[in-house]
Structure 1
Amino acid sequence: MSAGAIGLTGIAGLFLLLALRIPVAFAMFLVGFLGIWVLNGWGAAMGLLASESFTLASNPELVVIPLFILMGNVASHTGMSRQLYDAAYAVIGHVRGGLASATVIGCGGFAALSGSSVASALTMGKVSLAQMDRFGYDPRLSTGSVAAGGTLGILIPPSTGFVIYAILTEQSIGRLFLAGVLPGILLLAMFVLTITLICLVRPHFGPAGPRTSMGEKARAMVGALPIVLVIALTIGGIYGGFFSPVEAAGVGAGLVILYGLITRTLGFRAFADACRDSIVTTATVMLILIAAHMINPFLALSHIPEVVGHFLAGLNLNVTGTLLVILFFYLVLGCFLEGFAMLVLTLPIFFPVVLQMGVDPIWFGVLVVLTLEMGLISPPVGINVFIVKTVAPKVPLGDIFRGVLPFWGAMIVTLGLLIAFPQIALILPNTMFN
């Protein structure tokens, strides 16, 4: 059997293991180890298992993952996410669809602390769904806005998706974080515009909420200042060159913990829970990354990236056409696979092709992460939809999926704008490093 045939057999076996609900990391460990054993011998497989695990786990740049995860978990326990939603609600809650728009803005702000789409959807769902239900919002709009708003967690920095992409492709975490800022703001604005258009066509979907006085608006804005300052210091510190991403994560986590202690909203039990959740999430991410470094050499030895490159070259498409084919593949695969699994499985195959075409790897990273976001609300997996379902158990799953469709369309438009105008993603990292 040729190396290519062995590689294709390994990929088929991997998808079979995933279909059998084997955890992603263990499935990749098994396929990668067995594939290298078959192609290069037992000694090579054992040596790689020992060396790659230690090398990756001792990478100091990966400290950014537990620190940013801890920052998000502590912020959730201290109620900072609620304060951000309250501020947005006080300012725009009185217009049609205002509560849904406030939810999306709250998701964007919380995403800038947690870096997690699931955490953003879960936290903001608990905060906002009952409020929208109280004012008679259509469940499709209320649940759709929470599920879609949660996807901002993987794009607006600090993003765990960008960290994994950076490690797998050996790109700068700082450049990727900055590249996600303007696309994240653009997508947030597109979501708010989508809500506005829905409420123009169907006003009963998002009734206007009560007006708030200037004093109430001012108090709500003051309450949101801590979270705004933390975001400004972490992301602004990276952009200004004051912090590395790891240092920014440490500063952000320290400030959020300090805020919780000063305001007495962070008790010992809550802090212990936040630490435990951070450890579990970090361990999951690390296992996936280590497993990726086992399967990547197997794919290289089996020449799968070369086969894919020849196939794409045979289509005789220009660079944009080839890029659209790759993104379409991500879009389809996102309907069935979890986002991190997609990254570690596909980047070893597609990234060499992208580099050969001369595509900017930072720009490509933003496009890929945005496409992964779309998978978070795409049937049949759509993990954010199922997260919202746990918060709103009375809303039929079909209604939630129908509710996210307009937002899915907004993401397509945003993706098209980023393809047409790469500088939206590249202007900040290029300004910082040049």
Structure 2
Amino acid sequence: MQAMLIGVAGFSAVLGLLLLRVPVAVALGVAGLAGVVWQQGWGHVLLLQTGLDVAVIDGLAVVPLLAMMSTIASHAGLSRQIYDAALALLGHWRGGLAMASLLAAAAFAAVCGSAVAAAATICRVTLPDMRRRGYADGLSAASIAAGSTLGLLLPPSILLMLYALLTGQSLGKLYVAALLPSLLGLLLYMAATRIGLRGGAKAAATKLPAQSWAMRGRQLAAIWPLLVLFVVVMGGLFIGLLPSQAAALGLVAALGFALAAGTLTGPRFKTALLEAAQTTGMVMLVLLGALFFTMFLSAAQVPQVLAGELAASGINPVLFLLLLALGYWLLGSMIDDLAVIVLTLPFVFPMAQALAIDPIWFGIYLVTIVEIGLILPPWGMLLFVIQGSSGVKATAIMRGMLPFMAANLLRVALLIAFPALALALPGLMH
């Protein structure tokens, strides 16, 4: 009982600080440090040792490499090119503009590493085009928001990176495991777009003229560096390279493409360096704060007690996963996706281990339900981002989001029913 009370107190302290807009790294670090000092005193030298360990962990080398690769790619003017390429492939379908916007948002979110940035950027690029062609605002905004969340699961996913570093799992396997669930999400969202056309988007049935294969080839050629980067990184992971080695190859390729295209001007390179440094610093600080918080909980035996109680309860693993999804969706209404992951992981990961849930699959499941929480009506963060960027009424966006929510329920059910969706490809890795 004492361990449970300590765990609740620590969780509440961090959550309170986050609600007061304290940065997540500071909130976790302050709560963790205070807890360790309260339990073991100021002389506890493991605090200094933990900081040193974080600085020298080999796995952390992947963070600046992936951050730099992403910022260089995102400063190459890819947002419009991605949309044009998607439009060339899908524009002649019924609802093709919305599907192209969805695909472009997913690709751009994967490149820049932020669903919020992708939603705001793609909204500015594609929403005026859809409005001119008579698409309903609700469907247009919902497709952009839904597509932006898919990028959180694709490499170089920061959420999966933190999960790997905090749980000791293979980042390469997590990135490979994310491919099929991401494809499943994309297909279900495209189906949801077609269903959404029946909800009043009468002009969305208008199809654009089909482009020739030569024109499609030219549009795809404009984004071929992005496709090559994806193949280089994922191919390197498949053949057994370390994540840092695959990321280094991707960074070299990104630099080469940018220099060859002439897009890497001095000011852009400086901006890319600064953004990569900010991302790297953010990840490192969050990781350090999370380790302090985890050390505090471990000293109080909180994870061990939780895992033991859960195993003794005999709860069905599926029920546990469903309750976890509900809890994450509720918590996601108060704090952002990264904070949700790092705050709850010290509690939920030992519980998943106690129920013999595969840790690679569990990482994919966690990020999936977190990204769904970003667009969950009525409080999903991306709904407000899209509303602010587009001026579309919140009620219209929520109505447009209903088919996507149905797709998400099916997506979660399929992921639980068929774990091979996340585990088949990692099983093929060398």
Tell me the TM-score normalised to structure 1 length. Answer: 0.92
* Aligned amino acid, residue 427 of structure 2: N
How many aligned residue pairs are there? Answer: 429
Counterparts of residues 223-262 of structure 1 (less than 5 Å): 223-241=222-240, 243-262=241-260
Query: Could you tell me how far apart the structure 1 residues matched to 2:121 and 2:55 are?
Result: 30
Rounded Cα–Cα distance in structure 1 between residues aligned with 2:235 and 2:114: 20
**Equivalences for residues 23-422 of structure 1 within 5 A:** 23-44=23-44, 47-204=45-202, 206-214=204-212, 215-241=214-240, 243-309=241-307, 311-313=309-311, 315-379=313-377, 382-392=380-390, 394-422=391-419
Contact 1:84 1:106 in 2 (8 A): yes
Q: 1:29 to 1:379 in 2, by over 3 A?
A: farther
Misfit runs of 4+, over 6 Å: none
1:114-138 deviation line (CA, Å, top 9, x unaligned): 3432333233223222221222221
Q: How far apart are the structure 1 equivalents of 2:364 and 2:269?
A: 33
Whole-Å separation in 2 of the counterparts to 1:75 and 1:136: 32
* In structure 1, C-alpha distance between the alignment counterparts of 2:120 and 2:211, rounded to whole Å: 30
Distance in structure 1 (CA, Å) of the matches to 2:54 and 2:395: 42
Query: CA–CA distance in 2 between the matches of 1:64 and 1:300?
Result: 27
Residue aligning to 1:10: 10
Alpha-carbon separation, structure 1, partners of 2:36 and 2:221: 57
Rounded to whole Å, the distance in 1 between the matches of 2:55 and 2:395 is: 41
Change (3 A) 1:404 1:67: farther
C-alpha distance in 2, partners of 1:199/1:310?
Answer: 49
User: Does the CA-based 8 Å contact 1:95-1:209 persist in structure 2?
Assistant: yes
Deviations 1:209-249 (A, max 9, x none): 531431432321222322212211211221123x3211222
- Separation (CA, whole Å) in 1 of partners of 2:198 and 2:409: 21
Secondary structure, counterpart of 2:297 in structure 1: helix
Equivalent position of 2:22 in the other structure = 22
- 1:430 corresponds to which of 422, 427, 430: 427
Structure 1 residues 114, 251: CA separation in 2 closer, same or farther (over 3 Å shift)?
farther
Compute the RMSD of aligned alpha carbons.
Answer: 2.1
Residues 1:4 and 1:197: Cα distance change in structure 2 (over 3 Å): closer
Deviates more, 1:191-200 or 1:326-335: 326-335
* The 10-residue stretch of structure 1 (132-141 or 315-324) with the greater mean CA deviation from structure 2: 315-324
In structure 2, what is the Cα distance between the partners aligned to 1:216 and 1:76? 24
SS at match of 1:142: helix
- What SS is found at the alignment partner of 1:43? coil
Displacement of 1:110? 2.9
Asked if the contact 2:31/2:293 (under 8 Å) is kept, the reply is yes
Cα displacement (A) at 1:389: 3.1
One-letter amino acid of the counterpart of residue 341, structure 1:
A
Structure 2, gaps ≥5 residues long: none
Check 1:57–1:206 CA distance in 2 against 1; reply closer, same or farther (3 A cut): farther
Instruction: Give the Cα separation in 2 of the matches to 1:68 and 1:232.
Output: 14
Equivalent residue letter for 2:42: W
Whole-Å separation in 1 of the counterparts to 2:78 and 2:220 = 12
How far has the Cα of 1:425 moved from its partner? 0.5
What secondary structure sits across from 2:43 in the alignment? helix
State the alpha-carbon separation in 2 of the partners of residues 407 and 17 from structure 1: 33
Deviation at 1:144, TM superposition (A): 0.9
The answer to whether the 8 A contact 2:68-2:251 is kept is: yes
Deviation at 1:54, TM superposition (A): 2.2
Are the equivalent residues in 2 in contact too, given 1:71–1:114 (CA < 8 A)?
no
- Cα distance in structure 1, aligned partners of 2:399 and 2:312: 38
Stretch moving more, 118-127 or 282-291: 118-127
Of 147-156 and 73-82, the range deviating more from structure 2 = 73-82
Could you tell me how far 1:417 is from its partner in structure 2? 0.3
Whole-Å Cα distance in 2 between the matches of residues 57 and 379 of structure 1?
40
Q: Do the aligned partners of residues 278 and 385 (structure 1) sit closer, same or farther apart at CA in structure 2, a change above 3 Å counting?
A: farther
Q: Displacement of 1:290 after TM fit? A: 0.5
For 1:5, the aligned partner's letter is: L
Q: 2: CA distance between counterparts of 1:270 and 1:385?
A: 30
Contact 1:64 1:249 in 2 (8 A): yes
| Mean CA deviation greater in 277-286 or 113-122 | 113-122
Give the fraction of aligned pairs with identical amino acids, expressed as a percent. 38
Render the CA deviation track for 1:173-217: whole Å, top value 9, x for unaligned: 001001001101110111111101212454426242531431432
Structure 1's 309 and 213: CA in aligned 2 closer, same or farther, altered over 3 A? closer
Q: Residues 131 and 293 from structure 1, CA distance in 2 versus in 1: closer, same or farther, beyond 3 angstroms?
A: same
Question: Which whole-Å CA distance do the structure 1 matches of 2:410 and 2:401 have between them?
Answer: 14
Summarize the Cα distance change of 1:248–1:368 in structure 2 as closer, same or farther, 3 Å threshold: same
Bigger mean CA offset, 317-326 vs 348-357: 317-326
For residue 403 of structure 1, report the CA deviation from its aligned partner: 2.8
Q: Which residue identity lines up with residue 317 of structure 2 in the other structure?
A: V
CA distance in 2, matches of 1:185, 1:76: 22
Q: Which amino acid aligns with 2:157?
A: S
Structure 1 residues without counterparts, runs of 5 or longer: none
- Relative to 1, partners in 2 of residues 1:379 and 1:201: Cα closer, same or farther, differing over 3 Å? closer
The 2-side partners of 1:239 and 1:340 are apart by: 27
Code of the residue aligned with 1:34 in structure 2: it is: A
Give the Cα separation in 2 of the matches to 1:82 and 1:239.
Answer: 30
| 1:327 Cα deviation from its structure 2 partner | 2.9
